[in-house]
Structure 1
């Protein structure tokens, strides 16, 4: 005869031997917040509403209007004196619905066309620019930031010198395959060294921005390996039966609806770039 499991019972209040009554062992409570709740990031003291939530990081909208990205750790936040682990932003319906952009930001009210800032976000190619526009387009328009494809970073130092970055004309550069020991790492060394406080170099570890789209979003289990020396995009499309690279790119771009379809390394890199360009306080 199979043994019957004992029914689950509630912890007995005051029973110190019941681990369910051990608050320390249980860890800090988990909770979500609303878009209007003001929280405190305990490690940094940053105080603001939650602009974006990710399991590893959170973007706070500070009281002065600027944003700050902080680590999302267990027990990392507090509100009204209560310490808790932040698990997300609730979507509780209110009289005025909160609209979010594809990047997860709270959408700003439509204020019409704006004059572009002098600051720029540089990317390596057209595909990078279009992918960023698809996810962060609303944020870029609200901040009046222009994304410009470079066509590669072989002459990055010269391009930066021509641009002439300054406090009101900052520059952020998003680089593919930014990994120690690579050509991209060497080509960006001068700009990453902090020679100019108005230049920020960010990147992701993938050979091409296509790989920054999660495989599941495009209906595959993983991105195929392409041998060195073979054109990467052509090799990907051949192995997946996607036709030409143009056909493959249309499929990839159409599969992206929000930041959740992208690898966190790209999301974090773009958020860091926008923080550097927008926060001019």
Structure 2
């Protein structure tokens, strides 16, 4: 039987010692107290400057245990010596563009169902999205999707892409998606009940995602079946922390996100006869 601390802190959140990590340029971290997530763009004596995916800069002190790296608490320290070589590929597998700056956000958008979906997309496609100027927003469900699309007002130069969970024939989600007929909107989806399932079990360290009885909250049921504390927020941070590249995700999600990015960034079609 697993042992947990009195406050039910999951085993994956415990660390014998907080590691020190050099604040190398382009390292993506989250500031623990504010939740601000960004890439390191500068490090002076005692401070580090982060840039988020919208190009916003914030300066934070290099305090002990002040940051999260892939879900784990770390202490950032000023780098010494030569900085490591930049990666040649982004987490999505695209060719990295050294020194590229975030593009001004397009009018088009990609909508996903929830915060976890948005965080997973950012984890793998964040570099690509910044270069393309694509903003991802989450909706907290798609029950009102036709009205949401109408309110957005898609156009040839402001396309809307929507990623839907559990988009399978006969599902409620499939009926909602079919009601969206706007030519400048693309609705695609993956077959998983929740975005958690789009992460390969082997990446999370489990044999398979458990089956949860109908009528039971799926995330809570997963935690219960795996013997994790029923803290879905902590469970998600554990899962997200195991995602490093596109190889950690199922193909059914990979293809759909790439399709949405291509759709939103495609140039407007020329008028017929032009």
- What's the TM-score, normalizing by structure 2? 0.65
TM-superposition CA deviations, 1:95-142 (whole Å, max 9, x none)? x98710000000124332431000000000000000000000000000
What 5-or-longer segments of structure 2 have no aligned partner? 1-84, 269-274
Distance 1:255 1:211, change over 3 A: same
Q: Secondary structure at the match of 1:253?
A: helix
In structure 1, C-alpha distance between the alignment counterparts of 2:227 and 2:126, rounded to whole Å = 30
Aligned to 1:205: 191
Give the alignment partner of residue 235 of structure 1, picking from 189, 201, 221. Answer: 221
Q: Secondary structure at the match of 2:179?
A: helix
Give the alignment partner of residue 270 of structure 1, picking from 237, 257, 273. Answer: 257
Q: Secondary structure at the match of 1:102?
A: coil
In structure 2, C-alpha distance between the alignment counterparts of 1:97 and 1:249, rounded to whole Å = 28
In structure 2, C-alpha distance between the alignment counterparts of 1:103 and 1:267, rounded to whole Å = 9
What 5-or-longer segments of structure 1 have no aligned partner? 1-95
Aligned to 1:248: 235
Per-residue deviation, 1:278: 1.2
Matched ranges for 1:102-251 at <5 A: 102-191=91-180, 195-243=181-229, 244-251=231-238
Per-residue deviation, 1:241: 1.7
TM-superposition CA deviations, 1:77-107 (whole Å, max 9, x none)? xxxxxxxxxxxxxxxxxxx987100000001
Residues matched between the structures, number? 183
Q: Secondary structure at the match of 1:201?
A: strand
In structure 2, C-alpha distance between the alignment counterparts of 1:222 and 1:112, rounded to whole Å = 39
Distance 1:156 1:246, change over 3 A: same
In structure 2, C-alpha distance between the alignment counterparts of 1:164 and 1:184, rounded to whole Å = 21
Higher relative contact order (CA 8 A, sep 6+): 2
Q: How much is the aligned-residue C-alpha RMSD, in angstroms?
A: 1.4
- What's the TM-score, normalizing by structure 1? 0.63
Distance 1:166 1:240, change over 3 A: same
In structure 2, C-alpha distance between the alignment counterparts of 1:113 and 1:101, rounded to whole Å = 14
In structure 1, C-alpha distance between the alignment counterparts of 2:170 and 2:99, rounded to whole Å = 45
